[in-house]
Structure 1
């Protein structure tokens, strides 16, 4: 077999699993959901092609208010995760030694060893009225009675940041790894302060990793279900809960599909706006990570 044909066959064999994964698990399900969202039920087992589901969504303020609230909370979680993850990523990439880097990465991976459900219940054990934190506050005399820390936005945000921080650290570390330390030294030699070097040299160089991390964290947060529901309770008001309610509780697959498509479109628009504001594109961020 000629070498050119052998290379082509190798490429096909390598790409086939990826293409099957993209088509069978991403493309076809989304096409199916899009098709369901355009069906209007006019009688039992009788459907018409229509945009009625989208119109009904716009006529219900609680639905689009929940979508906007989810987007705003997801952006807040993304920003907080960046502030938490960037110093850790910089320390791992530029300060820590080889053995320390491995240990720090291992510590960052620990939360992923258990499922989202177990992590959420762990937070509930810590923050509930009879939990560890409440007991410590009472033991220290800082509280005269049990303190309930669950079922509020702050708890949901903390739980989400804890869940997704690794997905912010890894892309930034991979970007800063390629940065020559002489650039930082040159900044100091030219009289730059730590803040100036950070603002003028380190952050611009790490921007592709920062944007990639923000995209991943935002999409994961907006699509999260267990953490907002378990830690936020009835006050969670998360859009994925609305989707679950349409599919499972009301058995309204057309409405649930509509909500899923709207969440995908809305989050994609937010990501696009973020890329435009940062001057980045997918080719220089996610595609290179």
Structure 2
């Protein structure tokens, strides 16, 4: 009876999670793949085929945009890591308990508003008549306003601001478990700051680094509002191509193919990152 009760409790505990995975992730992706393999040969007449994928390969603007999105997503991930690692180390190893809570709160504040509001906040700062440009004119550093929007730099700044919390949290979780005696031992053995960082801190924090990079890369590659609003027509993003196929051209078959290609490409990139870092997904998730 006790064993059956434990088994029933376990089933009831995981049933909502399993249904969530099945209904909101597995089945939609299966439907998307099936839809992408429908090739339109006549009005309301479809055949099984890979025509949507062939069209993607035959159009350079599509796969160039995908490669461009991936490269910029990697750049955003690297910048988020460079900025977020010192912040995470300070929160985990230097700040006191009260300061740690305050710093975490400051990191969480941007998530209290939607992506749309955050993007418009950056627009107010970076546009030609915005806060930064007006301050430059007022200080005499320039005679007229400067347009900081609608370029790759604005997109990168906005995306780093959006995803940096997802880099900090796993890093703090990992670094918090590292004992101070390990760092002290490194200094006692004659290691300098860079040596201790390279030989002790970074290897220990590697699961958190990999977990943060995976999350930030996937979120960045799948972002839509920030690249569109901050980059405009000068910064094409692959999610915009997906949106155009679904909404503008009403070509759901090509849109589904593009969505699956984005998922496959980012998944392969994550797999390569795990291979190069020597980490496994199970070990990374377990440590963070």
Normalising by the smaller structure, the TM-score range is over 0.9
Secondary structure of residue in 2 paired with 1:241: helix
Where in structure 2 are there 5+ consecutive unaligned residues? none
Aligned length: 288
Give distance in 1, aligned partners of 2:182 and 2:222: 38
Q: How much does 1:284 deviate?
A: 1.1
Q: State the superposition RMSD in angstroms.
A: 0.6
Query: Does residue 1:223 correspond to 2:222, yes or no?
Result: yes
Give runs of aligned pairs for residues 1-289 of structure 1, distance below 5 A: 2-289=1-288
Q: Give the deviation of 1:236 after TM superposition.
A: 1.7
Distance, in Å, in 1 between the alignment partners of 2:9 and 2:147 is 59
Give the Å deviation of 1:288: 3.6
**Match of 2:148, SS?**
coil
Partners of 1:77 and 1:287 lie apart in 2 by 25
How far apart are 1:50 and its partner, in Å? 0.1
| Alpha-carbon spacing, 1:287–1:235, altered in 2? closer, same or farther (3 Å) | farther
CA distance in 2 between partners of 1:144 and 1:113 (Å): 37
In the superposition, the TM-score normalised over structure 1's length comes to 0.99
TM-score by length of 2: 0.99
Structure 1 unaligned segments of length 5 or more: list them.
none
How many angstroms does 1:23 deviate by?
A: 0.4
Contact 2:174/2:287 (8 A) holds in 1: no
User: Is the 8 Å Cα contact of residues 40 and 46 (structure 2) preserved in structure 1?
Assistant: yes
Deviations 1:221-258 (A, max 9, x none): 00000000000001121000000000000000000000
- 1: CA distance, partners of 2:87 / 2:8: 43
Counterparts of 2:287 and 2:17, CA distance in 1: 17
SS of structure 1 residue aligned to 2:47: strand
CA distance in 2, matches of 1:85, 1:3: 47
